[in-house]
Structure 1
Amino acid sequence: MVGCVTADEDRDRLAKQLLELPVHELVDVLRRVLPHYTEDEYGLRTTLVLATANKDEDVSDVPDLALVAWPDRDYYDGGLGPDQGLWEEGHCAKCATDLASNAKRAYCPACGARCALT
């Protein structure tokens, strides 16, 4: 599919295809798309990213947010890392952003730094 997706049917078809992917494959597809929505204007850089929101209703009404880090495909010999959901967590050492990923070795989507998650 090339060009603008304008019809609801086309968007529904694309959404259905994305829903069929396991999380680690969905993250890889979005890694290829979201960074293209980066804007640099007036000294401000804005990037579209994927995030997780974890909410423990017994503790707080406010969810903990973490950006989804892209797996380090070089570390995983071209692979996407393990298919285990977004359970690896940590912080980017460069920009201090909270991160989540399916992989222990990943890239921060905010600054591009390599990260080691636990």
Structure 2
Amino acid sequence: MNTKIKLKPGINHIEFWVSDISRSIKFYTSFLPLIGWEQISNSSFSDGKMVIYFVEMKGIDKTKSLGVRHLCFQATEKDQVNKVYEILKTIQTKIIRGPLFMPYSEAYYTVDFYDPDGQVLEVAHTP
């Protein structure tokens, strides 16, 4: 794991509170490397521009609240979206929609799904 990634201006990191860190790391490891993310520690990933890390929080219930609705990961190739979808199906992830084209921009291709704690995620190719 590379721990000397230089970050650029932008969002530095996103912290996810999760109910079971082992389950979450296993889940995110199943698809993030397919779209260019590298695991940089036992609880974090980076794409070279930012870091996502996970903190286990026992006994906290997920509630609806204002704030971020979902997190979208950029796929650099359309086929990456299909590969992520196939992995998600294999691990029996609850898929919200896709993969499909959406009218947001030309050739916008996406799959939306839930992580193990119900966080809405998206992997999209947006050329």
Q: TM-score range with shorter-chain normalisation?
A: under 0.3
Which of the two has higher C-alpha Rg?
1
Q: Which structure's relative contact order is higher, taking Cα pairs within 8 Å and 6+ residues apart?
A: 2
Q: Which protein has the bigger strand share?
A: 2
Q: State the TM-score, normalizing by the size of structure 2.
A: 0.25
TM value normalised by structure 1:
0.26
